[in-house]
Chains A and B, each alone.
Chain A
Amino acid sequence: MVLLADAGQALDVVIVGSGAAASVMAALLAEAGKSVLLLETGAERQSANMISSQIWGRRMKWGGEPVLDAGRHSVAYNFNMGRGTGGSAMHQYAVWPRLHPADFTLASDHGVGLDWPLAYDDLRLHYDRVQQEVGISGDAAAEHWRPEGAPYPMGPVPTFPQGRIIARGFERLNLSTSPLPLAINSRVYQGRAACLWDGWCDAGCPIGALANPLAVYLPRAQQAGAVLRHNATVTRVLTDRTDRRALGVEYVQANGEVRHQSADLVVLAANPIQNPRILFASGTRRSPTGLANSSGKLGNYLMSHPTVSTFGLFVEETYSYYGPKGGQLLCQDGYQKDQHQGHAFGSYQWMIAQALKPNDLLGIANSRPELYGTKLTEFMARAAQHIATMATVCEGLPMQENRVGISAKSKDKYGMPLAEVTHSFAPSSLALVEEARQEGEAVFRAAGATEVWSSGVNAMHIMGGTVMGTSPDASVTNSYGQTHDIPNLVIAGAGLFPTSGGVNPTFTIHALARRAATYLLDHWPG
């Protein structure tokens, strides 16, 4: 490796990553006049690369250095994380509900897990602003569980036959449904195209109907002068002699050249596993257990949402190939954390009537992995016209022992230790997902399914690992993502979440990043 001195000048901000959190921070900081550089480890992607195919879409997945997995329940890093322009957010399904106020006070209310260092009301305005900027479709009035907030700027996704068929099962069991809030245009919005309801979101939406980073915040950032450099892997945060001030980052280019970039503010927006990995790898003589780790909590409280999918075959045609991949309807009747059977605990929601493709992990064929030969052929012919599905997002409780560390033995090609993850769901979270599974099957039977089955328990989304909190002894950052130890080193993304709630994380990632950027501009740490 060749070490080059910093060729460029010192910048106001260097941001690690170009995904959901990074793109919001970059846009807001650059628009306020700050000089911004984003360093992205993956390759450049443009809309033209988003080929409509579950096979081609896999190029969006991580594909970088491996993450070593231990514990009983894998967080499915390579499935749940993306790489390249826009990160995982490029092939997200854009299901964007808000966290509920009770998600912020888990420890105070129930004596388990953690509290957030902010309340729902501190984030509400930012949810509202992001919602206006990206455009969310939905029906606020129909979501009787929805926290206070501005109504959605666009009407909801249409309900296709699959949604209508499943909804009657909910209705017969006295459960409610509403349109699913989606960061997808139900009409032309701010010059961006309307959705065509073809279900290709997983392969990346190339027409700008889905609010991925390439559709909204990255162009804004670049228009305001931010520079995005690809194939630039950040390996270390550089600090002064006290380890109380970040000076910039070290990164490796595709050709193996090592570069330094100085900046007044360093924003780590890699992902919940790579952020702590970089901080561990940045440890110095003064910080032998990793940078920004005086609390000893760096890497702790890694979380995921345990999920199951319910499937059923119906007599009617379901047209399950129409609609957005994330679903058409929502049910959050199961959000009350302590109103479950047995020792089940936490919140959950249903994302109802997800568009299905025949192949891939979440496709029709793999919904029945035990079938093969002519039985599979017969099933596929029938299911293609008659299958319906929905998936739950269940709360995964924060547990200190679920953690990201670094390997003492294995390194990547740049000599950086690989991330090692240990993760198991709490028994009460597994009980919750089991309750949801039973409810899902009951709903499908009530809806008239002739056959009903469920998937196994899987991990959806990755959160925690660099949790925010009020106490520097018990958390890594404050409520703005500023590390307690190094005020000009900021973390952004779902790694900050002290609890997971029972909703998808990306709307909250955007709201938190917006709140942080606004604060930092008023209290510039540089």
Chain B
Amino acid sequence: MMTNPSRRRFIAAGGVGLLSFVVGDSCLRISPAEARYKKLPLGNLNATQASALERLGDALVPGAADSGLVYFLDQQLSTSTEDCMLMIRYLGVAPPYKDFYIQSLAALETACLRRYQKDSAQLSASQVAQLIDALLSGSLLDWQQSLPAAFFAFVLRSDASDVVYGTEAGFDRLGIPYMAHIPPPAPW
């Protein structure tokens, strides 16, 4: 009725794009989940920031960690404002966007320590849910940022939605056709 499937490129189940990593002298082509498993090095985020992002991102949008949220953010934070593909670029925040993420993550850790006496990566699932509720409702005390906590949660949730749902694999998971004119050259 609506479209001729032969004109379309439906992707096979489980087909995901590969990331390129230069490790030592060699260039690895691996999936985001493998990159995560192998703990491949990051350029912008340190280990604490990466685990906080994964923990929160995956709780917001299940599947975000395996879909490579941290690698997506880390890679995009190295690009110029003009080439950046993060949603933050059109939400009225002044670049460099790295500052926004790093400062928000620091505020998050401070709030976690005050509230739970541990950092975000060590929270139980129910504590993470409580934390998200507090972030979204703006009731997180000690949030020392000019931009509200709910805005940070919104941005991170959007980033996580990008990697989980905004890809060829994500469309496939939802059972909807991607129908690319020009498919993305990377997993995201």
CB distance from B139 to the nearest CB of A (A): 14
Q: Interface on chain A toward B: helix, strand, loop, or mixed SS?
A: loop
**CB-based contact A365/B62 at 8 Å:** no
Q: Is there an interface contact between A372 and B60, defined as CB atoms closer than 8 Å? A: yes
What 1/0 mask marks residues of chain B from 75 to 88 whose CB sits below 8 Å from any chain A CB?
Answer: 00000111111110
B: interface residue count bin: 35 or more
- Residues in B with CB closer than 8 Å to A199 are 179
The distance from the CB of A126 to the nearest CB of chain B, in whole angstroms, is 31
Contact A361 B158 (CB under 8 A): yes
- A-chain residues with CB within 8 Å of residue B91 when the two chains form the complex: 78-79
Indicate if the CB atoms of B90 and A79 lie closer than 8 Å.
yes
Residues of A in contact (CB 8 Å), total: 56
Q: Classify the interface of chain B: helix, strand, loop or mixed.
A: loop
> Of A59, A160, A322, which is within 8 A of B83 by CB?
A59
A207 CA to B180 CA in the complex, in Å?
Answer: 11
Is B98 in contact with chain A by the CB < 8 A criterion? Answer: no
B89 is an interface residue with CB less than 8 A from chain A: yes
* A373, B62: Cα distance in complex, Å: 6
Among the stretches A5-13, A62-70, A242-250, A391-399, the one at the interface with B is: A62-70
Mark out the residues of chain A between 164 and 211 whose CB falls within 8 Å of any chain B CB in the assembled complex. Answer: 196-200, 205-207
Q: Assuming A58-B84, A384-B175, is B61 touching A358 (CB within 8 A)? A: no
Those of A200-227 within 8 Å (CB) of chain B: 200, 205-207
The reply to whether B87 and A51 form a contact with Cβ atoms under 8 Å apart is: no
Contact B89 A61 (CB under 8 A): yes
Stretch binding the partner chain, chosen from A42-50, A92-100, A463-471: A42-50
A196 touches B179 (CB 8 A): yes
The chain B residue with its CB closest to the CB of A322 is B2
- Among residues of B, the one whose C-beta sits closest to the C-beta of A77 is B92
Using A59-B85, A322-B3 as known contacts, say yes or no to A357 and B182 having CB atoms under 8 A apart: no
Q: List 20 A-B contacts (CB under 8 A).
A: A51-B180, A52-B180, A55-B166, A58-B84, A59-B83, A63-B80, A63-B82, A196-B3, A197-B3, A198-B8, A205-B181, A319-B2, A359-B166, A360-B162, A363-B166, A365-B157, A372-B59, A372-B61, A380-B165, A384-B176
Chain A: residues with CB nearer than 8 A to chain B? 42-43, 48, 50-56, 58-59, 61-64, 66, 69, 74, 76-79, 83, 160, 196-200, 205-207, 319, 321-322, 357-361, 363-366, 369-370, 372-374, 376-377, 380-381, 384-385
10 further contact pairs, Cβ within 8 A, besides A365-B61, A369-B157, A381-B174: A48-B182, A53-B166, A64-B81, A77-B92, A79-B91, A198-B181, A358-B171, A359-B162, A372-B132, A385-B175
